[in-house]
C-alpha cells in the first residue's frame, strides 16, 4: 500500500477554558481578607502550520481525532490557572482546508503559514476579578467556556512548476529520475506510479520543480483509474508537459490520439482552470527504440500544428534532455515574471454602529417565545453556574445592562414568556428599572416602572418613633400591658 495520503477528514477539538474560583482570603488576625479567587486558564487552540519536512497527510489518516489540552482552573491566593498548550498540526505546503459543506477556509501556502482551525475556550473569572465597589465579596465565579469543535477536510495539492501528464508507462517517472535526484519507482507495467513524485531541476540559472502525476486514461475525469484522485495535483502547475510514448505497442493508440484524449480529460476535470492552455510542450519519449525514432518525423508536424513545442528525448540515454530542460526554464521564468507583485497587507477596520448592541431578539418557533442571539449573551450564559443564585443574578444584571430586556419589551415579550439564550431556556421575569421605557411600552408588563413602597404615603409621627425606641430599650419582663400600645406615652 502506498504511504501517500492527499485527502483526509479531521475532527479537531480545542481545549476548554478552566473554571474561575470563588475563594476568600484567610489569614490569622485578618478575618476580612476579601476575595482572592484566581481566574481559569484559556484552553489551547488547534493550529495548522505548514512544515517543509512534511509531504503527506498520512499522520491524520491514522489519527483523525486531534484535541488540544484544557486550561487549568484557578486557585485561591489569586493564583490563575495555566493556559492549555496549542495543538500544532504540521501539514505540507499546498494544503487546502475546507468544511464538511465544501466552504474553503484557507489555502496554506508558504512555510510557516498558520491557521487557527479551532479556538480554545476562555477561562472563567474568579471572584477576585468580579469584585467592585458595590460587590465587595462575590460568592461566585464564572465557568470556563468550552472549546470549539470542527470537522474539516484537508486536501493536498502539490506545488510544482512543471507537471508531467500522459498515459501510464509513458516514461514520466524515468524522465523525473533522469533530470533530478529523485528516485521514483520505475517498472514496465501500467500504474507503476501511485503517488505524485517531485523533483528539483536546475537549468542554467533557473531552478524549478517537476511533478510526475500518475498516468491518466480515458474517463479519468469521471473516476476511472487513478486520474480523478490525482488530477488535483496539476492545478498549481504553471506548465504542463505531455509525455508521449513513441514505442507503445497497444492497438488503437498513436501520439495524436493520446494528446486528444488527454486534453479532453483535462477539460472535463475543470474547464475554468484552463488546464489545456497550460499544455505548451510535448516530449516524444523513448526515441532510443528504433520504431519510436521513425515516428518522430510523422507526428512532429501534427503536434506543432496544435501549438505545442515538440522535443524528441530519451530518458534512458539522455538525448534531448538539455534542450528540453532549457525550454522548461524559459516557460517557468516567463510565468513567474507575469505574476503580479504581492500586495501589501492592508488592515481593514470595521467600526461598530452606535446602536449595535451585539445581539438580536427573534421569535422562537420551538417554544412560541423569543431567542436572544449574540456572541456576548451566549458566552455569558455558558459561563454562568446556574446552581448559584448570586451568579444567576449577576447574569441578569449583565443582560439588563446590555439592553436585552429593553429589546424584549419592544419586541412584545410578556412576563412568563420562554426566553432562549444559547442552550438555556428560562421564563422571563422583567427587572427593568423605572423610566427605561415609555408608558406605552410598559403597558401589560405588570406594573413595571412602579414601586409598591411608594403607594403608602403615611409616615410615623415623632411620638410614635419615641415610643418604639423606648420599647426597644426596655427589658421584656418590665414591659407593662399598655406597652403593647405603640402610642403609649408616660409624659405628664
Which residues does the annotation place in the binding site? 166-173, 191-195, 212-215, 285-288, 314-316
Residue 246 burial class via C-beta count within 10 angstroms: exposed 0-12, middle 13-18, buried 19 and up: buried
List binding-site positions for GTP.
166-173, 191-195, 212-215, 285-288, 314-316
CB atoms within 10 A of CB 294: 11
Q: Are 107 and 96 in contact (CB under 8 A)?
A: yes
List binding-site positions for Mg(2+).
173, 193
* Beta-ladder partners of 201: 208
Grid coordinates of 19: 473554571
| Per-residue CA distances from 109 to 60, 155, 364 (Å) | 19, 13, 43
Q: Which residue has the cell 460568592?
A: 139
DSSP H helices in 96-233: 127-130, 172-179, 227-230
DSSP 436: S
Q: Are 231 and 157 in contact (CB under 8 A)?
A: no
CB atoms within 10 A of CB 87: 21
Tell me which residue of 122, 160, 162 sits closest to 143, measured CA to CA: 122
CA–CA distance, 12 with 26 (Å, rounded to integer): 42
Q: Are 216 and 268 in contact (CB under 8 A)?
A: no
DSSP 35: B
CA–CA distance, 190 with 228 (Å, rounded to integer): 17
CA–CA distance, 149 with 140 (Å, rounded to integer): 28
Three-state SS at 334: helix
CB < 8 Å & 24+ apart, contacts of 188-196: 190/215, 191/215, 191/225, 191/226, 192/168, 194/2, 194/4, 194/226, 195/2, 195/4, 196/4, 196/6, 196/158, 196/230, 196/233
What is the helix (H) or strand (E) element at residue 389, kind and residue range?
Answer: helix 389-402
* Beta-ladder partners of 153: 9, 98
Amino acid at each position: 500500500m502506498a504511504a501517500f495520503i492527499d485527502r483526509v477528514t479531521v475532527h479537531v477539538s480545542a481545549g476548554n477554558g478552566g473554571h474561575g474560583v470563588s475563594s476568600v482570603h484567610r489569614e490569622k488576625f485578618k478575618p476580612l481578607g476579601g476575595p482572592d479567587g484566581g481566574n481559569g486558564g484559556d484552553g489551547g487552540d488547534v493550529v495548522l502550520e505548514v512544515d517543509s519536512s512534511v509531504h503527506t497527510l498520512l499522520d491524520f489518516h491514522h489519527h483523525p481525532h486531534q484535541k488540544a489540552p484544557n486550561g487549568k482552573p484557578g486557585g485561591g491566593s489569586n493564583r490563575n490557572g495555566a493556559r492549555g498548550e496549542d495543538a500544532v498540526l504540521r501539514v505540507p505546503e499546498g494544503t487546502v482546508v475546507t468544511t464538511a459543506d465544501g466552504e474553503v477556509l484557507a489555502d496554506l501556502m508558504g512555510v510557516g503559514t498558520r491557521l487557527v482551525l479551532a479556538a480554545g475556550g476562555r477561562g472563567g473569572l474568579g471572584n477576585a476579578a468580579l469584585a467592585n465597589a458595590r460587590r465587595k465579596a462575590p460568592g461566585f465565579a464564572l465557568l470556563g467556556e468550552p472549546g470549539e469543535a470542527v470537522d474539516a477536510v484537508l486536501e493536498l495539492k502539490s506545488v510544482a512548476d512543471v507537471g508531467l501528464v500522459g498515459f501510464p508507462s509513458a516514461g514520466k517517472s524515468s524522465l523525473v529520475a533522469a533530470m533530478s535526484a529523485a528516485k521514483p519507482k520505475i517498472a514496465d507495467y501500467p500504474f507503476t506510479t501511485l503517488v505524485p513524485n517531485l523533483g528539483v531541476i536546475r537549468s542554467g540559472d533557473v531552478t524549478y520543480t517537476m511533478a510526475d502525476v500518475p498516468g491518466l486514461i480515458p474517463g479519468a475525469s469521471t473516476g476511472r483509474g487513478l486520474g480523478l484522485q490525482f488530477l488535483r495535483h496539476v492545478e498549481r502547475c504553471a506548465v504542463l508537459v505531455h509525455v508521449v510514448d513513441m514505442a507503445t505497442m497497444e492497438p488503437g493508440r498513436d501520439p495524436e490520439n493520446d494528446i486528444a484524449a488527454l486534453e479532453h480529460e483535462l477539460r472535463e476535470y475543470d474547464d475554468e482552470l484552463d488546464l489545456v492552455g497550460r499544455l505548451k510542450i510535448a516530449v516524444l519519449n523513448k526515441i532510443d527504440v528504433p520504431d519510436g525514432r521513425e515516428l518522430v518525423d510523422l507526428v512532429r508536424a501534427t503536434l506543432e500544428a496544435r501549438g505545442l513545442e515538440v522535443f524528441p528525448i530519451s530518458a534512458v540515454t539522455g538525448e534531448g534532455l538539455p534542450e528540453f530542460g532549457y525550454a522548461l526554464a524559459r516557460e517557468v521564468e516567463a510565468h513567474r515574471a507575469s505574476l503580479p507583485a504581492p500586495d501589501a497587507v492592508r488592515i481593514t477596520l470595521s467600526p461598530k454602529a452606535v446602536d449595535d448592541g451585539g445581539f438580536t431578539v427573534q421569535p422562537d418557533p420551538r417554544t412560541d417565545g423569543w431567542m436572544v442571539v449574540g456572541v456576548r449573551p451566549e458566552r455569558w450564559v455558558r459561563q454562568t453556574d446556574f446552581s448559584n443564585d448570586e451568579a444567576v443574578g449577576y447574569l441578569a444584571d449583565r443582560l439588563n445592562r446590555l439592553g436585552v430586556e429593553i429589546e424584549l419589551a419592544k419586541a412584545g415579550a410578556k412576563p412568563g414568556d420562554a426566553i432562549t439564550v444559547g442552550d438555556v431556556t428560562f421564563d422571563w421575569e422583567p427587572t427593568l428599572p423605572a423610566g427605561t421605557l415609555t408608558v406605552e411600552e410598559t403597558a401589560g408588563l405588570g406594573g413595571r416602572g412602579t414601586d409598591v413602597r411608594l403607594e403608602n404615603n403615611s409616615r410615623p409621627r415623632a411620638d410614635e418613633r419615641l415610643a418604639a425606641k423606648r420599647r426597644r430599650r426596655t427589658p421584656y419582663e418590665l414591659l407593662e400591658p399598655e406597652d403593647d400600645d405603640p402610642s403609649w406615652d408616660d409624659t405628664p
